[in-house]
Structure 1
Amino acid sequence: MKKKTLVPLIIFLLGICLVGLIVYKTDTHEKNQRHILAQLNATTYGERIKNEIADGIGITDTLEQILISENGEIHQFETIAGNLMSDSIESVQLAPNGVVTDIYPAEGNEAGKIDLLHDKDRKEISCYARDNHATITQGPFELKQGGYGIAVRNPVYLKDKSGQEYFWGFTIVILRVPDIFSDTVSALSNFGYEYKILKTDIPWSDTYKVVYQSDGQIDHPVSYAFTVGDGTWKLEVTPKTGWRNNTLLIIISGMFLTISLLLSVLTRVWLIAKEHKNKYKILARTDSLTNIYNRYGFDELAEKIISKNPQTHFVAALLDIDDFKFINDIYGHSYGDKALKSLADSMKAFFPSDALLGRNGGDEFCILLPNCTFKEADKQLQQFTKLPKTFSYHGKELAFYISLGYAEYPTFAASPSQLMRCADAALYEIKLHGKNGCMAYRKGLQSGVRKQLGFALKDISEHLPGAFIIYRADKEDDELFYANHEFLHMTGYKSMDELFRLTQKRFRNLIRQDEQQQIETNIWEQIDTGNENDYIHFHLRKADGTYLSVLDHGRIVESQQYGKVFYVLFMDWEDMHLRYSDKFSE
């Protein structure tokens, strides 16, 4: 119970830790991506703002060029200025000697005619522009017409007749805010950003003044600085939803927490219903028991390898375990699986890494050796066939043996399928010659359908006309191995498991207690004197605790797995007495 609670809890806690790590990594990644994207947008739209202001500066440059070409005079100023106007420009001005004299449009801008070099609000920055030949921007300031504006003042210098440069005055453009940035701020807003446009209050200062900003709060913004004239501008942006993608984090957290909880629940269910779980199938080309290729995977890969190298020599081998059905019947399928896995592991350890290994099914395996001829493979395959092979049974290492047939491509086969048929024919031939050996294919061997040469123990035992058992012939430690259906029926045991449980797998526990010593003595006296086991009469224990009078006839044989074992046939004494009393009396 503790394990069934603790394991799911550990899985859930590990899941929470994993969720935390995933959320942290996702949050960090998202913030980095948002910072990168925001920085890219800040740079892009900062440059756009710079270009939009540069358009205004371009107007002052146009007026400057006209002044230079016309020796300080502009004829038809209103016509020229009107052509230069746009929706984001409030006015175009001329300021000879720093005094604004010409303004377009004149209506509503009469108050703009001021002496820039002596006005208290404009004097310092205007003189800086004049003395440093610097185009400057000033503002934002409130316009008389409503809204805000930024003044762009471009100092103009002309040359007198002697070639000396002198200050003519300023060409000026008043830009409307935020009209001049309308496309930029609209785009930033549509992309989901809060923004702030700033500029240095005066060229020689590092103090920034807000030119225009959105209504939302700006936290930890990224910024892009750029220069307009002698002033520094800066665009700051931050996502309206913040740098953290809370929606994504909530979805990920919820999803992975749900998965963790589900895994914990499924783990608990799996632990409770462990005996009933289904085995998962793995890759279609791999045998799940031995972790080598299955028949489909082997055939497919062998076809590809040979087709790519049709002139190369290959050796294909087929092998199987001798008397594998006997292993399954005597020890059970789980130990048969151990033998299969042991054989596959020995194949992987023995053959080179470029060898293709597969399991055809049952106890039959296949091997493809590339760049190899019959002569090169013969010693290797003979050596592998003779290599000791074992599987573990209750702490004991039990030996088993294999038969192997092999053939060479393209010597005896023109295709992979024909090559395998030739190897199968060689394997069939070695089976006919007593198994536990290795044989190469040669002409004349039949490669047709292989016949069944033997019978499984279960097939024989269940159809014999009599009850029998098999047990280890050991005076001190006998052990029951097998009982056929006829024996179980005669003695009332439901299954071999029940027989093994009630007798503790001991043959002596099948003999009535008062007869045990005498019967065992009789059996071993016959064996020790070299006689075959004769008929013996005793009382056989049934499943319900009663006893059945029987006559047994046994024979001791040598087994590769167990040494000496008894095969014992039983007959009902009373039944025989009734059936054959007349014959016995004669």
Structure 2
Amino acid sequence: MKRKPNHYKRKLIPLAVFVVGLLIFLLIVSRLAKNEEMMMRDRCALNAQIYADELEKDFNRSSIATDMMAYMIMDEGGRPRDFARAAAGMMQRSPYIDSIQLAPDGIIADVYPESARIIGKENLFALPDRVQSVTYSRDNKATIIQGPFQLSEGHEGLAVRQPIFFENPDGTERFWGFSIVVLKAPDIFESMENDLKATHNEYRLSKTEPGDDEYHVVLASREYLDRPEAQTFFYGGCYWKLEIMPERGWQPSFPLILSFLLGLGIVFLLTGMTMLLLKLQERRNHLHRMANTDSLTGLYNRQGFDEAVSKWLRKHPEEKATAVIIDIDNFKLVNDLNSHRAGDEALKNLAHTMQQHFSDMAFVGRNGGDEFCALFRGMPAAEAVPLLDGFATRRHLFRYDGKVHSYTISMGYAEYPTQARSRSSLFQCADAALYAVKLRGKQGMSQYQPHAGETGRSQLAFGLQDIAMHLPGAILIYKADEQEKILFANLELIHLFDCDTLEEFLAYTNGTFRGIVHPDDYDRVETSIDEQIAASGSVGTDAVVYRILTKKGRLRRVLDKGRLVDTDFYGRIFYVVLLDESSWD
């Protein structure tokens, strides 16, 4: 008896469904495993970025002592007179500093604490293991990090060396030597290591030496890492590379679950796996967005912006573009006078405005803090200037706490490929142009000029408050209202009243101008100031002589030279210089 064709169909169709279903299942499993690995890689890449950024910040916070020592040396024209006390104060600010050193002409002369000195006055240029890095630092005028190397206490350290130059009368520069901070290598990495171990990650941190491209392992959880995710950054003349991978490797974590679901039926399994696939894909996309998006403004973050710009430049190597760096003028005052929430509103407002004006023609991102960046694609600087000019010079408004606040911006720009052919060089040029705007008084824009280098930055490196605190003259700033609240007093003024600290001075004077003038002279002084201002206009200069009574009971006569000024942030304020009677001549 012949079998009916349908009999074979009933067998073949289920078999075909099973085979097709199995093939689809295997395809989905393979895709799920790949997505799982991609998600783990995104997570490791995000961790590498976060910890690399934190490590760079720790280096910055710890090595700022080299800048402070350099300022002292340039201010005093050589080795500081009170090196030990200054170094002790700096070390108190960072737990990672092992010692602070000065090396005139490359010869270590001062070490704090003295116990950290390994030998006598060693010449760095004569040490085989250090001559290459110190020569690189001197010749390139670059702050560098060398190490880690063994310290006398038995642990390892990293040496941060900043070259110091003096300007000769003929305009040339003379190399003075180095300010050096030695960091405790185990301590500065400890927090990162503990976090990575706690989150079950394997890691390896490597670095190059200044002037050398070969990486050397600084610390690692194990010798070999299987295809780790890496984040690289440049600091101290060295490239640093942080590599991370999961403790268990890149193998998927759910094969047994998939096998169990297979027993429930091919259709149910395919449906469930499809839903899981979509969910994993969504989570992967979410992690990718988190890694490339600034959470406050919604713009590209630094990594996302760099990736987008680099990708475009690779595709259009000869097409012109304009790179722009923008930051908010006096952003610290926005935070200080209102709150950090007000500062956040200003940042969001600027981001929104940039998106409205530039998003169709430019990549727009936030570098961090109050600094933003943009790349105008296919647009030379001449075409970009009209768009940027009005944006740079107008006042930007935002609303916070029921009030309208304003801020201004500064902007620097450079043209690709005319002025730079790589992304990093292009934005370094735009950054230099931005600093040129700040040196001219902010609120404006400037194109990069080849002669605009790092020399102008030294003017911005000095904090104005630090300068005023140490100027040879008693300086006072107070509000021109009924309360006459003191806003600023420098050390000369504090000492004029026989006080040692600002807090002591404010307590003694009740923090007001009335507390400065002798009570018997106050009404006369106020009348004289009002008359002088009335005679010269609403904003003018006055001078008056009166007595002060110091905290030690000493009576002194001072000449008060003041100027009334209208400011955007504080309203009407007086800038005053007090001259003691002994200095009138």
Larger CA Rg, structure 1 vs 2: 1
Q: TM-score, normalised by structure 1?
A: 0.42
